[in-house]
Structure 1
Amino acid sequence: MSRIRSPQLTHFLSIPLAAPSLTASLSALRRDVLTTLPGFPVKAIRPVATIHLTLGVMALDIAGPRLKAATDALLSLPDSAPDIIPGMPIQVGLRGLSMFDGSTTSEANVVFANAYGDDVTRLQEFANRVSRHFIELGFVVDTSVKNNKNNNGDDIGSPGAENEGVALHATVLNTRYASYFAPVASSNEGGVDVDRKKGKKRYRKIRPSFDATELLTKFENTVFMEPMHIDKVAICKMGERKVEDGGGYEIIAYISLP
Structure 2
Amino acid sequence: MAGYKDQKPSAPEKPPLTHFLCLPLVTPQSKPQLEKSLQQFRDAATSTASVMPGIHAKAIRPVGALHCTLGVMSLDQEQLHKATQFLANLDIQRLIRDEQTPQQRVQPFEIDLKGLVSMHAPRNTSILYCAPTDSDGSEKLYPFCLAVRKAFSEQRLLVEDDRKLKLHATIMNTIYAKGRKKRSAKPRKTAALDLNTPDPQNPPNADQEINQAPRNDEPRSAGHGPHASAPLKIDATALLEQYKDVVWAQNVALDRIAICEMGAKKILNEQGEVVAEEYKEVASLKLPT
Q: CA deviation at 1:38?
A: 2.7
Q: CA deviation at 1:180?
A: 5.2
Percent identity of equivalent pairs: 33
8 Å contact kept, 2:25–2:254? yes
8 Å contact kept, 2:112–2:249? yes
**Match for residue 159 of structure 1?**
none
Query: Which secondary structure state, in structure 1, belongs to the residue aligned with residue 46 of structure 2?
Result: helix
When you count strand as a share of all residues, which structure comes out higher? 1
**Match for residue 90 of structure 1?**
109
Whole-Å separation in 2 of the counterparts to 1:143 and 1:120: 27
8 Å contact kept, 1:15–1:54? yes
Offset from partner CA, 1:113-158 (integer Å, 9 cap, x none): 12122256110011110011111111112322xxx5xxxxxxxxxx
**Match for residue 156 of structure 1?**
none
Pair 1:75-2:88 in alignment: yes
**Match for residue 52 of structure 1?**
67
Offset from partner CA, 1:175-219 (integer Å, 9 cap, x none): 2222756568xxxx8679xxx89xxxxx97763111111111111
**Match for residue 235 of structure 2?**
211
Q: CA deviation at 1:67?
A: 0.8
Whole-Å separation in 1 of the counterparts to 2:117 and 2:185: 34
Residues 183, 169 of structure 1: alpha-carbon distance in 2 compared, 3 angstrom cutoff = closer
**Match for residue 175 of structure 1?**
174
Residues 225, 108 of structure 1: alpha-carbon distance in 2 compared, 3 angstrom cutoff = same
Largest Rg, 1 or 2: 2
Offset from partner CA, 1:93-120 (integer Å, 9 cap, x none): 10001123xx121221111012122256
8 Å contact kept, 1:235–1:253? yes
- Counterpart of 1:99 (choices 112, 118, 121) is 118
Residues 229, 190 of structure 1: alpha-carbon distance in 2 compared, 3 angstrom cutoff = closer
Q: Greater CA deviation, 1-10 or 14-23?
A: 1-10
Query: Which secondary structure state, in structure 1, belongs to the residue aligned with residue 95 of structure 2?
Result: coil
Q: Please, which runs of 5 or more residues in structure 2 have no aligned partner?
A: 1-7, 98-105, 188-200, 203-215, 219-229, 269-274
Query: Which secondary structure state, in structure 2, belongs to the residue aligned with residue 239 of structure 1?
Result: coil
Output aligned runs, 1:1-258, within 5 Å: 1=8, 2-18=10-26, 19-35=31-47, 36=50, 37-61=52-76, 64-78=77-91, 82-85=93-96, 87-100=106-119, 103-116=120-133, 117-118=135-136, 121-144=139-162, 148=163, 163=164, 166-178=165-177, 182=181, 207-244=231-268, 245-258=275-288
How many residues of Structure 1 are paired with residues of Structure 2 in the alignment? Answer: 221
Task: Give the structure-1-normalised TM-score.
Answer: 0.77
Whole-Å separation in 1 of the counterparts to 2:152 and 2:64: 25
Whole-Å separation in 2 of the counterparts to 1:129 and 1:17: 19
Query: Which secondary structure state, in structure 2, belongs to the residue aligned with residue 49 of structure 1?
Result: helix
When you count helix as a share of all residues, which structure comes out higher? 1
RMSD, aligned CA: 2.6
Q: Please, which runs of 5 or more residues in structure 1 have no aligned partner?
A: 149-162, 198-202
Query: Which secondary structure state, in structure 1, belongs to the residue aligned with residue 15 of structure 2?
Result: coil
Whole-Å separation in 2 of the counterparts to 1:137 and 1:180: 41
